[in-house]
Amino acid sequence: MKTYGIYVAYPPWTQFEGEGLGRFLAAFVRGAHQSGQARFVIACPGWTRPGLEALFQKSGIPDDAVEFLAPRGVPGVIRLASRRRKAAHEETERTKRPRRRRFAGLRQRLAAAVGTLVTSRNVAVLVVITIASLPVVLVGGLLGVVGKGIGRLLKKPLRSFREGMRSAKQRLRRGLEKLSMSRAMYEAELRIVHDLIDGRSDVTAWYCPTAFWPSFNRIRGPRVLCVPDFVVSLAPVAFAHIGGDAFRGTIEKIEQTIRGGDHFITYSQHVKHDTLVKRFGMSPTRVSVVPHGANTLDNVLQAAAKDGDLERVSATLLAKALAKAEAIDGRLPVVGGDSPGPYLFYASQLRPHKNVGTLLKAFRWLLDEGHLSHRLVMTGSPAMSPQIQKLVAELQLHDDVLFLVRLSEEELAACYRHADLAVNPTLSEGACPFTFTEALSVDTPVVMSRIEVTEEVITDRHLQAAMLFDPYDWRDMARAIRQGYEQRDKLLAMQQEAYRTLARRTWREVSHETIRALDEAAGEEQPEPRCHRRPA
């Protein structure tokens, strides 16, 4: 069995379970392990290893399926920053709970003690306890009056002290995080990673699952770079305006990584020809197209509902997901009970090309003019996008839009299952978005943006007309959403046939085709597997 390398160079604090790339890696490695074709070595910074190990363990990937090449331990500044982050999160969670809930347990214990005394059958004991308690009550009352007066005098100084301490803690946390995210620390960690890579002569070829890391090109040996998409090539000026200097830096990194590449993998013919061949001038023979396997969630819910009561388990998971709603400008949305009521669902991160702003405008119109009585539930933290927070406030959607963070895969599946309609307004993806198969796997229909990679997979013209919309036009988006929830059953029936076709493509096939591309980059050929199938 040959060994192949996977290169991952995320900065600290990256969360993998909710990320599309994390789920892709887990599905890919699991498919390769199940087929028995290859063994993988994952080269990554020390701070990345625990997150990937946890992701693989949760995905049912055995420990011996992968080997990690990573520096030992984590830099001290990151450990300190992690502790401060954890403390800040716990403090935030405490402040979310109303005071009456915080003291509910104490009140219950006091009430129980008083109840025991009142219901005591021994009257003599009750009288003695009452008489003995009078001095305590009187002294306590006097101390309460004195304490109240002192409290008034010290209220302002104590408040200033608490605010000063809180501000100092926040500055410390931000300082530690800034230091832990410094370029110098990142490069120092990568130097160790590359020293470990240089010491492995048994790796046939190296694979990088994204084009964000120019450092991948430092590897001496056969390399294959995956280019999922290059959305900024559509409108670089607009995206630079949205994302600022950081986004311009990302564009430069991607271009540098691609231009230094040798062999490439994409998920679609569109990205191969329009991005790599036309834009970057790469030879078509150096680019392999490996479509995604079907990303499904029905198996996740079935595993969670071991007792067979799928409805109850998924409702409980939905309630847990709703409890993770994040505040916007310090204001949490009002959710009654364990359900948000009827809702639309979009699983994504709040990045510029995900087109959340246009979705919010369409949603506002649907509430005002389209007789919509739904909420919009999304994943992703609004704290990461001041523009989205500002738009939510301008459109007065604080209680109509819920942003859920840090969802488990089971909670994500429940969110899809209970939604009336899934929506994906993205401007660009490397392939037909996971939204389609994820939603349909739990019997939820979906409407999506009309982009080339989706039309490459959804080829039926009638189905395209029923589910696709212009992502640059909020009115067309609103039309498709309204039509989708009004004709939900009809749309679901149309999409289930396409889903069954896509679901036939397994991640074993994806891993085999990727390994074949790695072998070709290394100058070797791999025979076709007997069980190889392509979607009809």
Per residue in 48-86, pLDDT tens? Answer: 898 899 888 888 888 888 899 999 887 766 777 666 656
Is the distance from CB of 297 to CB of 412 less than 8 angstroms?
yes
Residue 81 counted as domain residue: yes
Residues 460, 441: Cα–Cα separation, whole Å: 19
Is the distance from CB of 381 to CB of 354 less than 8 angstroms?
no
Q: Does one domain contain both 128 and 235?
A: no
Domain end position, chosen among 225, 258, 289: 289
Share of the chain above pLDDT 90, in %: 45
Q: Does one domain contain both 115 and 130?
A: yes
pLDDT digits (tens, 9 = 90+) for 82-101: 666 566 555 555 555 444 44
The pLDDT value recorded for residue 140 is 63
Residues 510, 27: Cα–Cα separation, whole Å: 9
Q: Does one domain contain both 456 and 334?
A: yes
Q: Does one domain contain both 467 and 324?
A: yes
The pLDDT value recorded for residue 518 is 94
pLDDT greater at residue 235 or residue 297: 297
Domain end position, chosen among 289, 308, 338: 289
Residues 61, 170: Cα–Cα separation, whole Å: 38
Residues 177, 47: Cα–Cα separation, whole Å: 13
Residue 535 counted as domain residue: no
The pLDDT value recorded for residue 104 is 47
Ramachandran class of 528: left when φ > 0, alpha when ψ lies in -120 to 50, beta otherwise: beta
The pLDDT value recorded for residue 348 is 87
User: If you average pLDDT over every residue of the chain, what do you get?
Assistant: 81
Residues 325, 2: Cα–Cα separation, whole Å: 45
Q: Does one domain contain both 255 and 306?
A: no
Q: Does one domain contain both 285 and 410?
A: no
Q: According to DSSP H, which parts of 181-278 are helical?
A: 183-198, 236-259, 269-270
Domain count across the chain:
3
Q: Does one domain contain both 124 and 97?
A: yes
Q: Is residue 168 very low, low, confident or very high in pLDDT (cuts 50, 70, 90)?
A: low
The pLDDT value recorded for residue 153 is 67
Q: Does one domain contain both 35 and 85?
A: no
Residue 526 counted as domain residue: no
Among the listed residues 426, 430, 427, the one whose alpha carbon sits nearest the alpha carbon of residue 264: 430
Is the distance from CB of 476 to CB of 469 less than 8 angstroms?
yes
pTM for the model: 0.75
Among the listed residues 482, 490, 355, 344, the one whose alpha carbon sits nearest the alpha carbon of residue 418: 344
Residue 529 counted as domain residue: no
Residue 490 counted as domain residue: yes
Tokens describing residue 457: 């997979």
Residue 527 counted as domain residue: no
The pLDDT value recorded for residue 223 is 96
**Which among 54-58, 121-125, 133-137, 409-413 has the top mean pLDDT?**
409-413
Q: What is the CATH number of the domain that holds 388?
A: 3.40.50.2000
Q: Does one domain contain both 369 and 479?
A: yes
pLDDT digits (tens, 9 = 90+) for 255-268: 999 999 999 999 99
Residue 162 has pLDDT above 50, yes or no: yes
**Average pLDDT in the 397-424 region?**
93
Note down the domain range covering 99. Answer: 77-180
Q: Does one domain contain both 155 and 132?
A: yes
pLDDT digits (tens, 9 = 90+) for 499-514: 999 999 988 899 999 9
Residue 237 counted as domain residue: yes
pLDDT greater at residue 358 or residue 142: 358
The pLDDT value recorded for residue 336 is 67
The pLDDT value recorded for residue 242 is 40
Among the listed residues 238, 247, 239, 233, the one whose alpha carbon sits nearest the alpha carbon of residue 277: 233
The pLDDT value recorded for residue 238 is 39
The pLDDT value recorded for residue 87 is 64
| Residue 452 burial (C-beta neighbours within 10 Å; 0-12, 13-18, 19+) | middle
Is the distance from CB of 460 to CB of 440 less than 8 angstroms?
no
What is the residue whose two structure tokens read 């231009």? 259
pLDDT greater at residue 433 or residue 166: 433
Alpha carbons within 13 A on the beta-carbon side of 137: 6
Continuous segment of H or E residues that includes residue 263: strand 263-266
Is the distance from CB of 435 to CB of 345 less than 8 angstroms?
no
Q: Does one domain contain both 337 and 266?
A: no
The pLDDT value recorded for residue 535 is 39
Residue 211 counted as domain residue: yes
Range name among 18-32, 296-310, 431-445, 471-485 with the lowest pLDDT average: 18-32
| Residue 134 burial (C-beta neighbours within 10 Å; 0-12, 13-18, 19+) | exposed
The pLDDT value recorded for residue 429 is 82
Residue 121 has pLDDT above 90, yes or no: no
3-state secondary structure 40-86: EEEECCCCCHHHHHHHHHHCCCCHHHEEEECCCCCCHHHHHHHHHHH
pLDDT digits (tens, 9 = 90+) for 427-463: 888 778 889 999 999 999 999 999 999 999 999 999 9
Domain end position, chosen among 127, 147, 180: 180
Q: Does one domain contain both 37 and 103?
A: no
**Average pLDDT in the 315-319 region?**
93
Ramachandran class of 516: left when φ > 0, alpha when ψ lies in -120 to 50, beta otherwise: alpha
The pLDDT value recorded for residue 118 is 43
Residues in the chain: 536
Range name among 132-136, 178-182, 300-304, 310-314 with the lowest pLDDT average: 178-182
